[in-house]
Structure 1
Amino acid sequence: MDRPRFRAAFLHPRYWPLWLGLGVLWLVVQLPYALLLKLGRALGALMLLAAKSRRQIVTRNLELCFPELSAAERARLLRENFASNGIAFFEMAMSWWWPSARLARLAHVEGLEHLQAAQREGQGVILMSLHFTTLEIGASLLGQLHTIDGMYREHKNPLFDYIQRHGRERHNLDASAIERDDVRGMLKVLRAGRAIWYAPDQDYGRKQSIFVPLFGVPAATVTATSKFARLGKARVVPFTQQRLADGSGYRLTIHPPLTDFPSDSEEADCLRINQWIEQAVRRCPEQYLWAHRRFKTRPEGAPKLYA
């Protein structure tokens, strides 16, 4: 996709409320990081009270994935998850508008050599990531260190789409945005020896998915990871980021590439991916995006899991 361009139409009065909101947000994120964390937690507490439907989805997901926890432990995890979502709102704005040097001070990076080795060898990389609440700032921090292309879904509001893309790509000037359904574009990028951010952890429906366990629950899991790796002749390199509890920033971890992947079995590959997802989520479950109805698609004849 071409770089985002400012259009005179963005000055139309119908966009003024959004400009005002963005301006206020820009001012707020100039505050110290420690204060933004506190504001984010406060925002999360308000979201917990106001967002009834999302609260129900998160509650149900925690019941399904952590049956071993007590009701009180899951209630605490619910509150912490909404606090993380509130913080993520400001992290998004930080990644769009903070000076690069200020943002870079928050990064604690491990395993960058795995991406650098693939780049030296001209090997494409599927940077297998997850939908953590920290994904926006994690991608921005990593983009300062290594060119990362991204799968992209255009926002319905053209002004917000412009602001979002401009903010995401400013740290990563050599990167390209690829439409989520542009399979040829993704394979072209991989065969050119580039790295692309890709997350296989959501429910994309029955088509192109098979059911394998995730947290012990049959989950519709896309088989595209194996296909992209095979057709793009690419390595699959897991990537995670975690907001550190001491307020010092974020740990970005580029894990070693998956070995013997893809295999001859799509089911075995999907199971392996889901097992990795489960391990990664268990390290910081409060920072995962539980508001997604991950188990919406069910095997034939199985009862629905969400109201």
Structure 2
Amino acid sequence: MKIIGFAIIVGLLRVLSILPYSWVARFGSGIGGALYLIPSRRKRIVLINLGLCFPLKSANERDILGRDHFRQVIRSYFERGIQWYGSAQSLTKRITIESSIDLSDANAPPTIFMDFHFVGIEVGCLLYSTRQPVAALYSPMSNVRLCELARKQRGRFGAEMVERGSSARKVIALLRAGTPVMLAADLDHGAANSVFVPFFGVPACTLTSVSRLAKVAGARVVPFVTEVLPGFKGYKLTIFEPLIDFPSGNDTTDARRMNAFLEAQILRFPEQYYWVHRRFKHRPAGLPGVY
């Protein structure tokens, strides 16, 4: 049965990849809006996260934001068909790039591209790999077949996929060899190699891997964000200036800066951040769980 289910998923993604982008986006958005009407664990997580991060918003405002988020996140799953099976040309024509650094600089220093879990994260990474060699860290899924499919399709334009948690030496070697590494450190992966720093005023278990890898490899840290444009017009990939004095030598200071940067981006389009994740899964000693 598992094999049949996997075959159905692959078949659906392939069908979605040949349909007009606006059709797929609108359909996914509609399904997301409908699913929000049904009580679910994910809806509960979204509303808890929004309540913690936006306490000054009314319950109705948070409900509207939660509905808009469900539309965006379910839509992004349907758009995986285009992202995983569409041509490089079809992806390129749907994305606008705004970069504060020279992406063609052959003498660029070792670079960590610091990404964040917005709904457009997938397409931004894929697009960059069509232009330049790159490596990307990923977290394995519980479903082995689906995990292998995601790893293969995410790396189909030449990106080297590195499993999160594998030897840091490999990542450092890639950086020193001149291959940029993409990683997102804005999820709660547990207390190991993490510190508790504020995220919208709430203590959040935040990875220190970005600053530690940057220090060892002598790498610059360049934030980038992919946003979904309104009106079903595609996406915009924004690559920012490298962070100044990062790493600072203090993991807590660096984690605070990372979260502060992320907060500023979330406020631009809050419905596009992955509120479905349990961002506050682990809590400092003495504080009760929230989920």
Aligned residue among 165, 185, 191 for 1:181: 165
Q: Tell me, yes or no, if structure 1 residue 216 matches structure 2 residue 165.
A: no
Note closer, same or farther for the CA distance 1:293–1:155 as it changes in structure 2 (3 Å cut). Answer: closer
Whether 1:276 and 2:266 are equivalent positions in the alignment is: no
Could you tell me how far apart the structure 2 residues matched to 1:235 and 1:142 are? 17
Structure 1, unmatched stretches of 5+, are: 1-12
Taking a change above 3 Å as real, the CA distance of residues 125 and 298 of structure 1, as seen in their structure-2 partners, is: same
Q: Which residue identity is paired with 1:18?
A: F
- Provide closer, same or farther for how the CA distance between residues 267 and 154 of structure 1 changes in structure 2, counting only shifts above 3 A: closer
Bigger mean CA offset, 187-196 vs 52-61: 187-196
Q: Is residue 90 from structure 1 mapped to residue 78 from structure 2 by the alignment? A: yes
SS of equivalent residue, structure 1 residue 246:
helix
Match for 1:20 among 8, 33, 54?
8
CA distance in 2, matches of 1:79, 1:179: 32
Matches within 5 A, 1:46-57: 46-50=34-38, 52-57=40-45
Flag the 1:212–1:14 CA change in 2: closer, same or farther, 3 A. Answer: closer
Task: Write the distance in 1 (CA, Å) between the matches of 2:46 and 2:224.
Answer: 24
Q: Which runs of 4+ in 1 moved over 6 A?
A: none
Aligned with 1:123 (options 95, 109, 133): 109
Residue of structure 1 equivalent to 2:149 = 163
2:239 aligns to what? 254
Letter in 1 for 2:165: D
Q: CA deviation at 1:49?
A: 3.6
Deviations 1:123-147 (A, max 9, x none): 2111101011211122112222222
Name stretches of at least 5 consecutive residues in structure 2 with no aligned partner.
none
Find out whether 1:133 has 2:119 as its counterpart: yes
1:252-294 C-alpha deviation (Å, 9 max, x unpaired): 0010001111113222111111100111111111011101111
How far is 1:50 from its partner?
Answer: 4.2
- Structure-1-length-normalised TM-score: 0.89
Of 156-165 and 179-188, deviating more is 156-165
8 Å CA contact 1:94, 1:137 repeated in 2:
no
**C-alpha separation between the residues in 1 aligned to 2:48 and 2:205?**
17
Q: Which amino acid aligns with 1:200?
A: A
1:116 aligned counterpart, secondary structure: coil
Q: Report the aligned-residue RMSD.
A: 1.8
Aligned match for 1:66, one of 54, 58, 78? 54
Decide whether the 8 Å contact of 1:114 with 1:256 is kept in 2: no
Partner of 1:238: helix, strand, or coil? strand
Q: Within 2, Cα distance between the matches of 1:162 and 1:219?
A: 30
- 1:121–1:55 CA distance, 2 compared to 1 (3 A): same
Taking structure 1 as reference, are residues 125 and 14 closer, same or farther at Cα in structure 2, changes over 3 Å only? same
1:192 matched residue in structure 2: 177
Corresponding residue pairs, total: 290
Q: Take 1:127 and 1:94, find their aligned partners in 2: how far apart are those partners?
A: 23
Partner of 2:249: 264
Identity %: 36
Compared CA separation, residues 68 and 14, structure 1 to 2 (3 A):
closer
